[in-house]
Structure 1
Amino acid sequence: MEFKQSLAQRIIIAFALMSALVAGAFAMGIVATVHVVEEKLISAGLGGDLQRMLLMDNMSEWSHRPEPDQLFYFSGGPGAFDLPKDLRHLDSGFHEVFREQLSYHAMVEIVDGRRYVLLQDQSDFEERERVLFAVVLVGFVLSLALAVFLGWVLARKVMAPVVRLARQVRHRDQLLGLAPPLAPDYATDEVGELAVAFDATLGRLRQALNRERLFTSDVSHELRTPLMVLASSCELLLENPGLDQRGRAQVERIARACGEMRELVQTFLMLARSQRDETSVAPQMTLGQVAQDLIGLWRAPVESKGLELVYNTGNPLDTRYNATLLHAVMGNLLRNALHYTDSGFIRLTLLPSGFLVEDSGVGIPEEKREAMFEPFVRGSENRGEGLGLGLSLVQRICENQGWSVSLSTMEPNGCRFHVELLLEGGEA
Structure 2
Amino acid sequence: MIRRRLLRTRLALACTGAVALVTLGVCGAAYSIARYELAHQLDLQLTQQAALLRREYRNPQPGVLQGECRFLAAPACAQFVPDKAAPTPVGYLLPVTDATREVAANRRGVFRTDLVIDGHRARMVTVPVPGGALQVALRADATDQGVRHAGELMAAVAGAGVLLAGGLGYVVARAGLRPVATLTETAERIAATRDTGVRIDLPPGRGEDELTRLAVSFNTMLGELEQSVAAQRRLVADASHELRTPLTALRTNAELLIHDLTESQRSRAVAGLQRQLREVTGLVNDLIELARDEEPQALVEDVRLAPLIEHCVATAREHWPGTVFEVAVAGADLTVPGVPARLARLVTNLLDNAAKFSPPGGPVEVELAGSTLIVRDHGPGITPDDLPYIFDRFYRASAARALPGSGLGLAMARQIARAHGADLVAEAAPGGGALFRLTFRR
Q: State TM-score, norm by structure 2.
A: 0.42
Q: State TM-score, norm by structure 1.
A: 0.43
Q: Which has the larger radius of gyration?
A: 2
